[in-house]
Each structure stands twice: as C-alpha cells, then as structure tokens.
Amino acid sequence: MEWIVTKDYKSMSDTAADMIVEEIKKNQHLCIALPTGGTPIGTLENLAAAYNERNLDYSKLRCFNIDEYVSLGKDHEQGYYYFLNNHLYSKTNIDLSKTYVPDVFAKDLEFEAELYEGMIQENGYFNLILLGIGEDGHIGFNEPSIVHEAICHVADLDNSTIDANARFFENKTEVPKQAITLGIGTILKAKKIILIANGKKKSDVIKKLAITNEIDPKFPASFLLTHPDVTIICDKEAVSCKE
Ligand code: F6R
C-alpha cells in the first residue's frame, strides 16, 4: 500500500481528484466505482471543477455506485445515486445512461444485487475504485463480520454505521438499515484502489490499517492488504493518534 498524508481535507481532495483525472486522461472509457458520505465531497467536486476548467471529456466514463440504501430511490435526497448526481454527474457531461445503481425497490433484493454484480462483470470490473472507510473499518457496506460475501449483496448496517450516518438525516430512525453493496471480492477485482480518509474521527481506524499486517474479517479494510495497487490518501488529522 502506498500512503500519502496531506496537510488538510482540501489537499486530500485535490490529491485524490488529480490521481483520478490522470486515470481518466489515460482512459476515457474508465469504469469507476464511487463512494458517498462526508469524505468524498471535496474529491467529487474537484472532479467536476476539473471537467469545467481543464476541458476534459467525461462522456464515455462508466460510473457505478459502490452502494445504495435499500428503500431510498434515485431521487431521494439522502439516496446515494442522488448524492453522486448532485456532486458530480449533473455538473459534468457524464452520460447518465452509463451510470449504474442497483434497483433498491426490486422485489428480490438479493437477486438484484447479483444482477448488479453481473453488470459490473459485463463492464470488465473496475479500472478504478475510490473508497471511503467507516470508523469500524468497513469498506462499501462490508461491515466487520467473521464471514464476508465476495460479490454484491444486501448488507445489514451495523448500529455504529447507522449512528455515524444519522448526521445526514433529521433523526436516527430515518437512516435505512440495509444497503446493496459491492462485495469485498468485487472491490478487490478493481485494477486500482484509492482510499481517502480525513479528520480525527478516522484516526483510530487509520492507525489500525497502518499497523495491520494480516487479513482480519472483523476489520474489512484489512482485505486491501491483498491488493497490488492501493493508495491511501489521508489528511494529518486522520493520522494523528489519540493517546
Ligand atoms: C459510502 C460507503 C461507506 C463510506 C464510509 C465513510 O458509499 O461506501 O463505506 O465510505 O461509511 O463515510 P464518511 O465519508 O461519511 O465518513
């Protein structure tokens, strides 16, 4: 794993966006998986700014949601497709017909998750995946567990994740309890992985990731140790250990 520590959130976002732009310049047809949440907002907005300022063409990109809450549709303000559309797609020439998200209203959600995996497979898996990380070490919504599903599946969110995400909702009871997420195997099939993290709240999990040297299913981010091309970009606060 390559580690890049930046002075603050802005420069973490600049660094991540610059790396993604370089990949887009190399391959306009890039197949990319994108996260939501607090961490990636700056990176996504930089990608939108780069499109406008650097005369880039995003029309051939294929963009996949890493996850989507069960029960929040594409036009729900707290939904994850809405988030990506709001921060990136709608500000660029990304072709919406090449943006993908599971149908979280499907009658059979497990089957829908398998269809989503199939779509990713048809697209040759990801050239690049941008990940955030949960305070409990989750990537996508692969929560700590003794067993993991390799492919896309329906995940139950841990209480700590529901608590962490409650800040985006009027109250905690509105936070969905399930999501369709990429599996650990889907993530690891990406050619290149960039993980971003910022702020003191992430310092414990980032410290754990830095010292981990073996796979621990109860620490899902540890699976990244098996991947040959992972770059972790975090700001100083996320590496400042609380004694
Ligand atoms: C969201 C996702 C999650 C988040 C993680 C960190 O699409 O896949 O793994 O990346 O929960 O969220 P923030 O950035 O809000 O701290």
The percent of residues above 90 in pLDDT, for the chain, comes to 95
Nearest Cα residue to atom 11 of ligand 1: 134
Give the list of residues 6+ apart from residue 90 with CB closer than 8 angstroms, or none: none
Bridge-based pairing of strands 128-131 and 192-197 is parallel
What ligand 1 atom has the least distance to the C-alpha of 201? 16
> Residues enclosing ligand 1, CB less than 6 A?
35-39, 66-67, 80, 132-134, 138-140
Nearest atom of ligand 1 to the alpha carbon of 37? 15
pLDDT in tens, 92-123: 999 999 999 999 999 999 999 999 999 999 99
For the residues 82-101, what does the mean pLDDT come to?
98
CA-proximal residue: ligand 1, atom 3 (nearest): 140
Mean pLDDT of 147-163: 94
Q: Tens of pLDDT along 217-226?
A: 999 999 999 9
pLDDT tens for 15-59 read 999 999 999 999 999 999 999 999 999 999 999 999 999 989 999
CATH code given to domain 2-135+147-235: 3.40.50.1360
- Measured by CA distance, the residue closest to atom 9 of ligand 1 is 140
CA 114 to centroid of ligand 1, rounded, Å = 22
Residue 241, pLDDT score: 63
Name the residue of 13, 36, 72 to mutate for ligand 1: max ligand atoms within 8 A of Cβ: 36
Among 21, 40, 42, 2, residue whose Cα is nearest residue 133:
40
CA 160 – CA 187 distance, rounded (Å) = 22
Q: What's the pTM? A: 0.96
Each domain of the chain, given as residue ranges in start order, spans 2-135+147-235
Average pLDDT of the residues of the chain: 96
Torsion, Cα of 46, 49, 55, 57 (10° steps): 70
Q: How confident is the model at residue 243 (pLDDT cuts 50, 70, 90)?
A: very low
